[in-house]
Structure 1
Amino acid sequence: MKVLLTGTSGNLGSRVLQSILEHDLIPTSDLIISTTSPNKVSTLAKQKNIPIVQGDLTQPEQLQRSYADSGADILFLVSYPSPSVERWLHHKTAIEAAKASGCIKLIIYTSLMFGGKTGMQSVAGVQQAHIKTVEYLADSGMDYVVLRQGIYVESWWLYAGFQPYPIPKDNSDDIVFVIPEDGPVAWVTWDDLGEGTAKILAKLAKGDREYVGKTLNLTGSRATTITHVAQLLEESSGRKVEVKIVGKEAAKKFHLKDGKREEWLVESWVGWFDGLKNGECEVVDPLLGQILGRSPRGIEECARELFLPQEAQTKAWH
């Protein structure tokens, strides 16, 4: 079956595509890339001559034509990169375009590991768009699979109170995490999520329906608090790290005072910690490890490469 891939220039989607190509999981003749930025498509994908189609989630009529012309059987829909609940409307546009395409029969959607075991009840604002999308998808009449992506190891700096990342080489000052609350997180790397997701796509592309109609939790193998992340940072960097848990209002005020961040961003960020405090991100599911054939890497395994002072790394967003 032909698979239409979205989000292939992002942190997750690029790794999904890379894993598909490096491991020959799906024939390149069965792949199509949907993007608003053809110039950002990977060199490897271009070398493989994978067709590229225009796919703008803000242009419903164009998107429907694009999906229909693709001839794809499966849509891999990576969630729109924004913390706003309104992003679900872009997902709705994609679902409607897929349904109207006449060819797409299965949608694979990437959600997030807030909301405990199901993801459908969460106090975190960042999860609300996913809840609305999954509800709409379930009522759409389309076959679907929901892939809940674990919290990225590479996003630790956000959860640690907007820390400079990478750790500056020329700074030996103490580090302070100013956060609203704390809670356990089953961290997992982009690479492991990308490979695991690619293998799930390949299974579905072969017509295997084991996962159809299901929500799959792709998590790390253990849950680690932000306070423990601070301990790992201290051990790896040699700098003293202090964690200050100050509540939502004080944390919001602190992170707005230097003028480096917009209020909507900080408002969304403090809401994540309501979910953490409630244990929404502590779910550990063995599925990803079973798919990979090895234990997924968590923040402990990545501590040295994450926390040693470096020149530059790509920052993560959901």
Structure 2
Amino acid sequence: MIIVTGATGQLGRQIVERLLTRMPADGIGVSVRDPHKAQALADRGVRVRQGSFTDPAGLAHAFEGASQVLIVSVDKMGEECLQQHLTAIEAAVAAGARRILYTSQMGASPTSHFQACRDHAATEEALRACGVPFTALRNGFYAASAAHFVGHAATSGELALPADGPVAWTAHADLAEATATILTDEGRFDGPTPPLTGGRALTFDDVAAVATEVTGRAITRITAPDGQFLKQLTGQGVPTETADQLLGIFTASRAGEFATVDPALATLLGREPITLGTVLREQLSNE
């Protein structure tokens, strides 16, 4: 049985949907914090069990009978993030999974300027040491993040953010489809994958131009000093540590950590990846 964690989240939910087009529902299990939110999957024959990365005993039940476990990374950074990932890896090993998959990021490195990428690198090291074959999905930076920034700019007409560098923005839908393909073809990718990226690397100057085209409203890119960006975030109630971590996205992009464009995702999909413009249209039309 293939077990998917985080199956009610934006990425995990779409991965399960893609798996359901490739295999019988009774071969899929999901580990979720709130089973009620996964009732629609249970109604379709997917095994739904409660599991939390902070509860080893619950994960043992959720991962029971696993042939493969997909660990969808948590939306946290730092020591708390790593500890939860280690708990999930240990549970997958104890369940007897023959392969563990993990949603990493293209910039994963212990020397990254972005805390999340350092966390991904540490998790990958734990996977290397766990004794079970693994695949680290080096996902491109989510295009939904760019769309989030544009959502505010569409109202104000200004995209005011720190200096940045090119980013290979990548759609959740494409990454979900690729992940389902990898899960159902176990011969692919031993260890980290190549970067699974969209077809172009765009700066926020480029994003502003795309957003202008999509919305029909002129959106101006304004470079805000790092200190001003931090002050704005903390003024909105964002904790100082979190604000520093968010600034790390821009620091890392300035260092070229997210600039690589690789054909691996297009090869897995058998088509060109979804463009940022398409993601922006979909997101803005839903707001």
**TM-score higher than 0.5:** yes
Q: Is the 8 A contact 1:55 1:63 kept in 2?
A: yes
Structure 1 residues 216-235: Cα deviation after superposition (integer angstroms, max 9, x where no partner): 42110111111111112223
Aligned to 1:146: 136
1:281, distance to aligned residue in structure 2 (A): 0.6
Q: Is the 8 A contact 2:214 2:277 kept in 1?
A: no
Shift of 1:60: 1.9
Superposition deviation, residue 237 in structure 1: 2.2
What is the CA-CA distance between 1:236 and the residue it aligns to?
2.6
Question: Counterpart in 2 of 1:247?
Answer: 225
- Structure 2: where are the runs of 5+ without partners? none
Does the CA contact (< 8 Å) of 1:182 and 1:226 recur in 2?
A: yes
CA contact (8 A) 2:147 2:283 kept: no
What TM-score results when the alignment is normalised by the length of structure 1?
0.83
- For residue 74 of structure 1, the aligned residue among 57, 62, 68 is 68
Distance in 1, Cα, partners of 2:111 & 2:261: 17
For residues 85 and 271 of structure 1, what CA distance do their matches in structure 2 show? 17
The worse-fitting range, judged by mean Cα deviation, of 145-154 and 214-223 is: 214-223
2:54 partner letter? T
Structure 1 position 55 matched with structure 2 position 51: yes
The residue correspondences of 1:30-41 to structure 2 (distance < 5 A) are: 30-41=27-38
Secondary structure at 1:132's aligned position in 2? helix
d(CA) in 2 for partners of 1:61, 1:11: 25
CA distance in 1, matches of 2:39, 2:276: 27
In percent, how many aligned pairs have the same letter? Answer: 30
Give the alignment's Cα RMSD to 1 decimal. 2.1
| TM-score for the superposition, normalised by structure 2 | 0.91
Count matched residues.
Answer: 287
Task: Quote the Cα distance in structure 1 between the aligned partners of 2:207 and 2:113.
Answer: 23
CA distance in 2, matches of 1:58, 1:153: 29
Residues 125 and 176 of structure 1, relative CA distance in 2, 3 Å threshold: same
Aligned equivalent of 2:195: 217
Q: CA deviation at 1:179?
A: 1.7
Shift in alpha-carbon separation, 1:73–1:311, aligned structure 2, 3 A: closer
CA-to-partner distance for each residue in 1:255-279, whole Å, 9 max, x for gaps?
333x254433322211111110011
Unaligned runs of 5+ in 1: 313-318
Residue type at the aligned position of 1:250:
Q
2:105 paired residue among 106, 112, 115: 112
Residue 150 of structure 1 contacts residue 188 of structure 1 at CA under 8 Å; is this kept in 2? Answer: yes
> Residues 76-112 of structure 1, C-alpha deviation per residue, up to 9 Å, x if partnerless?
11001224452111010011112222x2121000012
Change (3 A) 1:176 1:260: farther
2:5 paired residue number: 6
